[in-house]
Structure 1
Amino acid sequence: MRTILITLILLNTIWGSLCAQTEELTEIAIEGANLFSSEMASWYGTDLALQKYPKLQEELGGYFSYTKGDAAICAFYSKEEQPAVICTVSFDADYRLDKAIIAADRRAFTPEEQILYGMRVVAQQAIKTDTLFKHYRNTNLNIIPLVRNNVRKVYVLTGPNVSGVVIFGNDYLLTFDEHNKLTGTKKLHKDIMVLKYSKVEDSATTMHTHLPETGPFITATDICTLRLYEKFAGWKEHVVVSQTDVSIWNCAHDILVGRPRKEWEKQGQNNEESH
């Protein structure tokens, strides 16, 4: 009876651990998807808006993106002391450029947009004044304000200014209270990692590692970066290895799987022995 009881306790502990891991990975994947949606709208929105309205650049103060229902929207605002929205570009879930809706009507911020704008301004100032933020040649720091489940935050990602590279790391998370007051700033990766790619036919499996400070799993910023570049790079999967866990991102189907590192290493050894 005692043996059975101990076994049940162990099984419950293992099951609880697996459920907690699954919930955390699911949350990371959802957050990464939200970042990806915002960046996609910003990528394509800026191109389409400036192509259609070249003079927009003259009065442009900045932009931010967000989702509303099934649409992803990139909003451009003026550089006046009291800025207004001067153009928006809306996309469907597939980001079909031929289906994008471009509106150049000047209007006031919606309440949601006012929050995003306010966080972006605070983040811009923090990047200028806080020495935590690092700047590297041939890169930009991209600001992504996000409100989800009434939680306000800004992610800052490092994007390349040159083609043929994917950058992981040098990313940050800024948290805010309900009044858009900055409450915390955190560096997500301690280092910056640059992976090069050439031919889309390579279909390679790529990898990077996480130090304990970053956490045991892939980050939402990692997932956003992978989804932005995986098709250009032709990657098959990307593996993130920490001291305790391994996160495997399937680039073809955008699926995340997590495994304990010991189990993953054991399977690798078994595969090598079977050859």
Structure 2
Amino acid sequence: MKNLWVVLLTLLGIVMNAQDLQKIANEIKEEGTDLYRSEMASWYGTDIFRANYEKMDNVSGYFSYIDEKVPKCIFFSKDKKVIGTIAFPTNYNPKDAKLDLNERDFTSLESEYFTIRQNALTRIKNDTIFKVYQNTSLNIVPIIKNNVKKVYVLTGPSVDNVVVFGNDYLISFDNKNEVKNVEKLHKGMIVQNINDKEVGKTVGGVHSHILENWQTITPTDICTLMLYYKFTNWESYTVVSKKYVSMWNGKGNGLLIMKEKAFKNMTESIKKIDAERKSKTEELK
């Protein structure tokens, strides 16, 4: 009876641990999806705006946000006026986007986004933690959700056939929109080819996380994988650290996070089963 209770308590611990990890996975994927939606609006919004607005010298910058479930990309002038608003449907089809080039003031929400964006930009220009590598640029992605204000800084490539992970940062703000913390999400920058000279078209990839505070896959990783999926069609992607193994599924945008020890035990069990099957097959021949 005592052994039975030990087994039951062990199983209960495993289930509860799996539930905790799934909660973490869901939160990371949700944050990554928020980043993806903002970046998609910026990608297409920039193309649409440039094709229709003539006075580009008047443009000071842009940012994207979700306005009551509607993805919007807005451009603002040097006079801090909105000079372009592009609203997208949920599928981000540029043909169905609504363009408004009427000049107007920021809404109260847009003013908040503008402020943390500008404060983030100032910090980027003056803090040596931020790096810019050749053939890349830094993308500023402000997020306001549940009264929490933050700016993610992602690195985007300016050349084709590559997906860039890392060299990304998280800037957190206080309730006065002042920067309270800046941290790196990856130790460095990871570049993976979509089409490789030796293996041809890649089907997935893997990179490792070293930073203690970011042992799982990051929201920026999820955002990048979602953004480039239409180019990569990667079946899966894995992030490994000393604590966790994070596995992303491309087709379903699923995310599974396991403790590294549990993942190692699982793979060893699979190898053992495969070896036994091969042995039995040889005996039957």
Give the TM-score, by structure 1 length. Answer: 0.92
Distance 1:162 1:51 in 2: 21
Note the alpha carbon deviations across 1:7-55, whole angstroms, 9 max, x for none.
Answer: 3332332222111101000000000000000000000001001101132
Residue 87 of structure 1 deviates from its aligned partner by 0.6
User: What letter matches 1:58 in structure 2?
Assistant: D
Aligned to 1:252: 251
Distance 2:273 2:250 in 1: 22
Distance 1:13 1:107, change over 3 A: same
Which of 122, 127, 130 is equivalent to 1:130? Answer: 127
Residue 85 of structure 1 deviates from its aligned partner by 0.8
> Following superposition of structure 1 onto structure 2, how do residues 1-275 of structure 1 map, counting pairs within 5 Å?
1-55=1-55, 57-80=56-79, 83-198=80-195, 202=201, 204-260=203-259, 261-266=263-268, 269-270=271-272, 273=275
Distance 1:204 1:19 in 2: 29
Give the length in aligned residue pairs: 271
Could you tell me the percent identity over the aligned residues? 40
User: What letter matches 1:54 in structure 2?
Assistant: E
Note the alpha carbon deviations across 1:77-125, whole angstroms, 9 max, x for none.
Answer: 1112xx0111110111100111000001111111111111001111111
Distance 2:271 2:62 in 1: 49
Distance 2:205 2:272 in 1: 21
Residue 184 of structure 1 deviates from its aligned partner by 0.5
Distance 1:263 1:85, change over 3 A: farther
Moved more, 5-14 or 223-232: 5-14
Distance 1:271 1:63 in 2: 55
Q: Which runs of 4+ in 1 moved over 4 A?
A: none
Structure 2 unaligned blocks of 5 or more: 279-285
Moved more, 202-211 or 148-157: 202-211
SS in 1 for 2:156: strand
Moved more, 160-169 or 238-247: 238-247
SS in 1 for 2:195: coil
Aligned to 2:282: none
User: What letter matches 2:51 in structure 1?
Assistant: Q
Structure 1 unaligned blocks of 5 or more: none
Distance 2:108 2:175 in 1: 13
Task: Say what the alpha-carbon RMSD is for the aligned residues.
Answer: 1.9
Tell me if structure 2 keeps the 8 A contact 1:87–1:105.
yes
Residue 235 of structure 1 deviates from its aligned partner by 1.6
Larger radius of gyration: 2
Tell me if structure 2 keeps the 8 A contact 1:168–1:193.
yes
